[in-house]
Amino acid sequence: MDAMYRHERHIYDLTRKYYLLGRDRLIAELDPPRGGTVLEIGCGTGRNLLAVRRRYPEARLYGLDISEAMLITARAHSLGQDITYARADAVDFDPQALFGEASFDRIFISYALSMIPSWQGVLASAAGMLAPGGELH
């Protein structure tokens, strides 16, 4: 994934806004509890987490991606925004070790499942990381 996104990460958001529809509606419907935890799996450039930060300023935000190249961009875009990013395989990661959180109030995945061969494993893993009353979007 790093080879794929090494250069594309610089124009990714600009080129995707015309066909990655529904992301802003998804974010509007997250509605995490005040001070709740939100994890984006396949966070890419951090675009979505920045939108979550604007809409839910008291949420604790985390982003996971397998591409270090995309995470470099996400971290640069998110300076001063208190968003924690980590590199890992979405199918098999330890949220406590990466983020200091065992579970999340909201987990969302926006257009990343099509890039993950074992997408069913991602969904199963994410469902197992939901806090009581948590939601997978």
pLDDT in tens for each of the 137 residues of the chain?
A: 555 555 555 555 544 554 456 778 899 999 999 999 999 999 988 989 999 999 999 999 999 999 999 899 999 999 889 999 999 999 999 999 999 999 999 999 987 888 888 999 999 999 999 999 999 99
Q: What is the pLDDT of residues 9-42, one digit of tens each?
A: 555 554 455 445 677 889 999 999 999 999 999 9
Measured CA to CA, the distance from residue 19 to residue 33 in angstroms comes to 30
Measured CA to CA, the distance from residue 67 to residue 18 in angstroms comes to 23
Measured CA to CA, the distance from residue 37 to residue 12 in angstroms comes to 26
pLDDT for res 88: 96
> H/E/C letters for each residue in 38-68?
EEEECCCCCHHHHHHHHHCCCCEEEEEECCH
- Which residue shows structure tokens 């640069």? 76
Model's pTM, two decimal places?
0.85
